[in-house]
Amino acid sequence: MVTKQPICPDRIRKTPKQFSWLDHRLVSDHFIDRCTHGAAALYLFLVTVADAKGMSYYSDWTLSQRLAMDEHTLVQARDELINIGLIAYEKPLCQVLAIDAEPVRPTGTLQSVEQIFTRIGEGMK
């Protein structure tokens, strides 16, 4: 058995005052496997800047600049995180969500509001 000793014992992590650590289920439940590099970078940034309720309100322009992404790539990365179930977004607010016990597996991309209401209606039958 390998005995683990800290490489830098004077730098052992502690829960920061501003609340910000990644949930290990990102790896163990394979959420991270479903993210592009851009989505993973955006998630890391959002987790880092979010308050204790997961909320932040960085503009798309600022996020694009800070993450060196064009606006199209940023929107795609955000949509990925929404579809995976890691964030919610209502402009200008973004919320990093608690990770569900079971990973969210989208069944497909909805193309219109009509399709959403059709699916809701089917679920109520």
Number of domains composing the chain: 1
- The answer to whether residue 13 sits within a structural domain is no
Contacts of 92 (CB under 8 A, 6+ apart): 57, 59
pLDDT digits (tens, 9 = 90+) for 55-112: 999 999 999 999 999 999 999 999 999 999 999 999 989 999 988 755 445 445 544 5
Is the residue at 39 inside a domain? yes
Alpha carbon distance 107, 105 (integer Å): 6
- C-alpha to C-alpha distance for 77 and 37, rounded to whole angstroms: 9
Higher pLDDT: 122 or 86? It is 86
Q: Is residue 47 part of a domain?
A: yes
3 inside domain: no
pLDDT, tens digit (0-9, with 9 covering 90-100), for 24-45: 888 888 999 999 999 999 999 9
- Is residue 47 predicted with pLDDT exceeding 70? yes
pLDDT of residue 68: 97
Q: What CATH number should be reported for the domain holding residue 65?
A: 1.10.10.10
Q: 69 in a domain, yes or no?
A: yes
Q: Is residue 4 part of a domain?
A: no
Please report the pLDDT score of residue 15 as a whole number: 65
Residue 8 domain flag: no
The whole-number pLDDT of residue 33 equals: 93
Question: What stretch of H or E contains 95?
Answer: strand 93-96
How high is the pLDDT of residue 16? 63
The confidence score (pLDDT) of residue 113 equals 59
* Residue range of the domain that includes 115: 18-123
Q: Is residue 11 part of a domain?
A: no
Beta strands 55-56 and 87-90: pairing type?
unpaired
Q: What is the pLDDT of residue 51?
A: 85
pLDDT at 111: 46
